[in-house]
Structure 1
Amino acid sequence: MESRKAKKHGSTSQLLREDFDAGPTNLDCIEPGLWLGNLTAAMDLELLEERKINYILTVDSCPLPRVILSVPSIHNMFIQVTDIPCEDLLSHFEEAYKFIANGQENGVVLVHCYFGISRSATIVIAYFMKKYQISFDEAFERVKKQRRFVGPNKGFEAQLRLYERMGCTINKSNAQFRMFRLKVAADKVRKVKILPQDCLDVVRPDPALITVKPDPLVYRCCRCRRIVASASNLLPHVAREKPTWKNEDWPPVVNNEDKPLCMMTYFIEPLSWMKSVLQSVEGKIYCPKCNSKIGSFSWIMGCQCPCGAKVSPAFYLVPSKVEWSNFVQNVQVTV
């Protein structure tokens, strides 16, 4: 690891911000054209020039100072995240990969966060996983060999392992990824009491709308027979077990005799016809056609099924209020 002590305020190449205390400049060459370091390194103009660094990927709570961002020869990318396990870095892996790959083709890249330990290391590990088609464990060891104190927090490590299970790509139809995004959305709703715009992807399309490939298995309101959910919207659970995207064996399969699915409560994804889930922390779910109460939701508290399984966030339909239908033509209905 290369390091140098921070220069005094009078130095023209050392740019400080008021909350800056990331320690002396330190960075390590992970492979030719790719460096991993701390914030101090990214703010050291002399160092950047020495190493011929012309691409900087910042993974931090705030961007670099304008003086650095305005350097014509340096290309910048900013991913705004804090170093806490519930932050979503996974959704940024693909754009980060493209930036780093392009940077290595056209120069030298520095990936940094505040200390260069967790957030930036996570991005570089994900980059190695995709570039070399290797496992998380192998990518972690390769990066750690070059920078000994790298250590993604537990949440980022779980995201890297999910990335591996998805084949080092972002598969938005993957059940575990969709549940992961739901948890991210719930954490944000907890803070701002409303579903943020950047989490609207967790709200699935209305299954009652006409579609090219309709799901033949749907739930209908018992009273008016309006389609309210499809089988693909179901979030299955096993009695007394809390479903989580971190488990490799989630979602459970229908024909597992050792762990049969519980159907005492129908937990589903939030759907676009559920207008209240966009603006409220919790509430009742009413049929959009006849206004019958068919379920409830809670972004924060979740719900405990009679079987003992705790699901959070929870959007559920009461089995006695809805019925199954398996006629494909019945899906071809407009709201």
Structure 2
Amino acid sequence: MSSLLSQLQSFNKKQLRKTDTAVRTEDGRVIREYKDDSGNIRTEVTNRDQYGFVADVLMDFQVGEIRDNLIFGSQDVAAEWDILARYGVTHIVNIGTYVKNYFPDKLKYLNVKVNDTPDTKVLSYFDDTFKFIDEGRQSGCVFLHCNAGVSRASTFTTGYLMRTEKMTYEDAFSYVKSKRPSARPNAGFVEQLKEYEKTLGLSKE
């Protein structure tokens, strides 16, 4: 005990090494917490260019018209019957988080539970989703949305063009972005789409 007591008495916190704490949030951000030279606690996002989460604070009614009977956008459009009716929407792919199916008595829905984080294995959801889109386009119009209509929706739309029209990732995404400039899959989804390109035998490498 005397040894422990002597160690405590001689303890000098200035001898402690600085440490950082890193936390990955549900939306894919890595937040670093640390103390600066003045002893103040600071935080910063260290992977700002890699995560796909987009804060959805403004109403967004822009619709990306991809092909006949296929459009995509944000959750805001999914709640506006007048817009959906204008495009003749009969089917909706809901990839949003905590976004309800607003018109279940009028439209057919497919709910796809996908987190917008780089480590989510998004390709495993493609087959069932693309089958639903194909069926919906045969009888009506399909609207595909996530929350902001930026990462997940653009990823699935890009993948669909790659699968159905044999487009490379670059060509498919460039087209999707031309129809909705805010389109931006997160870094993990981009890597998976490039792997999907190889799986489909579309890679130019």
- Report the TM-score range of the alignment, normalised by the length of the smaller protein: 0.5 to 0.7
What are the superposed Cα offsets for residues 38-69 of structure 1, whole Å, 9 maximum, x if unpaired?
Answer: 0000111121112110110011223424x42x
Change (3 A) 1:134 1:24: closer
2:119 equivalent among 70, 86, 96: 86
Q: Is the 8 A contact 2:154 2:185 kept in 1?
A: yes
SS at match of 1:86: coil
Change (3 A) 1:89 1:22: farther
- Specify the alignment match of 2:183 in structure 1: 150
Aligned-residue offset at 1:25: 2.1
Percent of residue pairs bearing the same amino acid type: 27
1:33 aligns with 2:69: yes
Q: Is the 8 A contact 2:130 2:160 kept in 1?
A: yes
2:149 equivalent among 116, 120, 123: 116
* Bigger shift: residues 110-119 or 22-31: 22-31
1:132 equivalent among 140, 165, 184: 165
Cα distance between partner residues in 2 of 1:151 and 1:124 = 11
Structure 1 stretches of 4+ with a deviation exceeding 6 A read: none
What are the ranges of 5 or more consecutive residues in structure 2 without an aligned counterpart?
A: 1-55
Aligned-residue offset at 1:128: 0.1
Q: Is the 8 A contact 1:100 1:109 kept in 2?
A: yes
Aligned-residue offset at 1:36: 0.9
Structure of higher RCO (CA pairs closer than 8 Å, 6+ residues apart): 2
- Specify the alignment match of 1:274 in structure 2: none
- Specify the alignment match of 1:97 in structure 2: 130
Structure-2-length-normalised TM-score: 0.67
Structure-1-length-normalised TM-score: 0.42
1:60 partner amino acid: G
2:174 equivalent among 141, 149, 152: 141
Cα distance between partner residues in 2 of 1:135 and 1:79 = 24
| 1:1-335 equivalent positions in 2, closer than 5 A | 21=57, 23-65=59-101, 67-68=102-103, 70-71=104-105, 73-167=106-200
- Specify the alignment match of 1:296 in structure 2: none
SS at match of 1:60: coil
What are the superposed Cα offsets for residues 105-133 of structure 1, whole Å, 9 maximum, x if unpaired?
Answer: 11001010111111010000000000011
Cα distance between partner residues in 2 of 1:154 and 1:64 = 27
User: In the comparison of the two structures, how many residue pairs are matched?
Assistant: 147
Q: Which has the higher helix share?
A: 2
